[in-house]
Structure 1
Amino acid sequence: MNVPLSTLGQVAPTESEFRAIAQLLHETTGIVLAPGKSSMVQSRLAKRLRTLGLAQYKDYIALVTSESGREERRQMVSALTTNVTHFFRENHHFESLRRIVLPTLLETARNGGRVRLWSAGSSNGQEAYSIAMTIAECAPDFAKLDLRILATDIDPLMIAAGSKGFYPATAVAAVPETLRKKYFRPEGEDFQIISELRDIVKFRELNLHDPWPMRGKFDVIFCRNVVIYFAPEAQVSLWKRFEEQLAPGGYLFVGHSERVTDGDQSKLRTAGVTSYKLT
């Protein structure tokens, strides 16, 4: 008997099914799903089960763990990843970027040097474009400089959205009015980041848990409210990898609940609230 599509995914996964999904997510991304998140998993994966016409989670698990389920694993990760962001979130970091970090970097760029910034776990790009607006305010000639921002996220849907640079009015409301007028253009009911800023931000899908393809060093790395979802040993590993990816004197900005913890082994030193500098 056919199962009505409206009922697919309406039953929460069993404890063993939840553990299987949590284990796969951890192996794929490093993200830890705490016990008791079964209802969250059910609410976020119900649409995937309906789309695929699957009645039971065991069938879904069989699919995403199979060789042919590679694309659906990406969809699963997208569904289970938390994307919470807004423009100029934790604004003290952008103030530090403007006052302390950028003057030296812009001098380097104007002398023909290369400047690179990385928004890791960028979600739909609001963090990366907040960085870009901060740069543009400090350097009206930014488009002439060898200055680029890499924006990466594990969720392909977020990468696609960030590349287009469209945001609803509710999201853009967090941007100061002077910046809204300069860096956004109305597009129907939405707003789009101006092309000059989109040109210096490059979006790429990247799983922080995997090897990183970037060869060059970064002068600034933003990775905020991402590492907190990882297991403690994965957090320590990631802080070390960020340290290795920074140029000498580079800065790392982390989330309000995160701290770099590698003791005397780390060359990162506190440089402000949840901010670190490579010494």
Structure 2
Amino acid sequence: MISPDTLERIVLLTLAKTGIKIRAEDRAKLSQKLSQRIKALALKNDREYLDILSQNCDKHKSEWDHLISFITTGESYFFRDRGQINLLKHHLLPDAIQKNKDSTTLNILSAGCSTGEEVYSLAIILGELIPNLDNWNINLVGVDINIEAISKARKGIYPQWSFRGVENHYRSVYFRHKLEGWEIIESVKKRVKFYQCNLVADEISFFPIGSVDLIICRNVFIYFDRDKIATVLTKFIRTFAARGTINHRTYRITRTRDYPSTGFNLF
């Protein structure tokens, strides 16, 4: 088993590097997974594992990817959270489309996109809201710190469980059944790009500064302390176009020309 001292150091290291707080009730399970990982790597002890995480060695990044997969959830499904979907479908997206009707460009970021269901749901909704979609430049980007989740999102193949509560119409129109599951059709898949991103440590450089219309970060901040939330929000603000919007669970944060770059209007 991994020692309590080493586990505590890994917990603190994880917080510093990723902003993710590991709850006390989750530490026993993490300890078990790390012990199994140390055995799989044929390391002599838990200190060697800590050294891999702490030092810039060949195994450093790949081992962090493993650790991230242990402490982040891959829970997602299509059209999750009907309240948010209705807000997007009937208010936020139509507003963004109207605002950009002359430029015919939309830049949307899904932060903490997990395995991609949320971003593909947005792509489907946009296809229904914009009749002449092929004439638009739609840039939908999903980012997540979990590389395994990003890999699944890029494949775009989902089990039946990802469609719970979803009308059969969406699955029959926008997916094709395969042996591995249901694959998103190419016309939707090509609208979306996925990248691994540590929101705390990495720059958000997927769009030109000042060009993002909408950022969705459902449940992302529940992992972070206040300082890390402030760090990430500052990065989000730098990406915003005028009247860009963050949609986070049940509230919105909006930057307008009337607010400084460090200020938010919460409502």
CA distance in 2, matches of 1:186, 1:154: 29
> Does 2:231 match 1:249?
no
CA distance in 2, matches of 1:110, 1:192: 31
| Residue matched to 1:224 | 218
Runs of 5+ consecutive residues of structure 1 not aligned to the other structure: 1-10, 271-279
| Residue matched to 2:17 | 28
- Of stretches 116-125 and 13-22 in structure 1, the one that deviates more from structure 2 is 13-22
Deviation, structure 1 residue 221: 0.5
| Residue matched to 1:84 | 75
The 3-state SS of whatever aligns with 2:113 is: coil
Deviation, structure 1 residue 94: 1.7
- Aligned in 2, Cα 1:33/1:107: closer, same or farther, shift over 3 Å? same
The 3-state SS of whatever aligns with 1:221 is: strand
- Of stretches 59-68 and 222-231 in structure 1, the one that deviates more from structure 2 is 59-68
| Residue matched to 1:275 | none
> Does 2:54 match 1:54?
no
- Aligned in 2, Cα 1:204/1:78: closer, same or farther, shift over 3 Å? same
| Residue matched to 2:163 | 172
Contact 1:243 1:268 in 2 (8 A): no
- Of stretches 216-225 and 171-180 in structure 1, the one that deviates more from structure 2 is 171-180
Deviation, structure 1 residue 139: 2.1
CA distance in 1, matches of 2:187, 2:266: 34
Deviation, structure 1 residue 97: 1.4
Deviation, structure 1 residue 61: 1.1
- Aligned in 2, Cα 1:108/1:168: closer, same or farther, shift over 3 Å? same
Runs of 5+ consecutive residues of structure 2 not aligned to the other structure: 254-259
The 3-state SS of whatever aligns with 2:90 is: helix
> Does 2:195 match 1:198?
no
> Does 2:176 match 1:185?
yes
Count of matched residue positions in the alignment of Structure 1 and Structure 2: 256
CA distance in 1, matches of 2:183, 2:35: 31
> Does 2:233 match 1:239?
yes
CA distance in 2, matches of 1:109, 1:118: 16
CA distance in 1, matches of 2:5, 2:218: 32
Deviation, structure 1 residue 47: 4.4
| Residue matched to 1:269 | 266
Structure 1 residue identity aligned to 2:205: P
| Residue matched to 1:42 | 31
CA distance in 2, matches of 1:196, 1:108: 25
> Does 2:118 match 1:127?
yes
> Does 2:204 match 1:212?
yes
TM-score, normalisation: structure 2: 0.86
Structure 2 residue identity aligned to 1:236: A
| Residue matched to 2:53 | 64
Stretches (4+) displaced over 6 A: none
The 3-state SS of whatever aligns with 1:45 is: helix
**Identity value in percent:** 25
- Aligned in 2, Cα 1:112/1:246: closer, same or farther, shift over 3 Å? closer
Deviation, structure 1 residue 104: 3.5
CA distance in 1, matches of 2:147, 2:131: 31
> Does 2:19 match 1:19?
no
CA distance in 2, matches of 1:269, 1:102: 18
- Of stretches 97-106 and 200-209 in structure 1, the one that deviates more from structure 2 is 97-106
Deviation, structure 1 residue 164: 0.8
- Spell out, residue by residue over 1:9-43, the C-alpha distance to the aligned partner (whole angstroms, 9 max, x if none): xx3x3221111111121121011123343212124
RMSD value, Cα: 2.4
- Aligned in 2, Cα 1:161/1:189: closer, same or farther, shift over 3 Å? closer
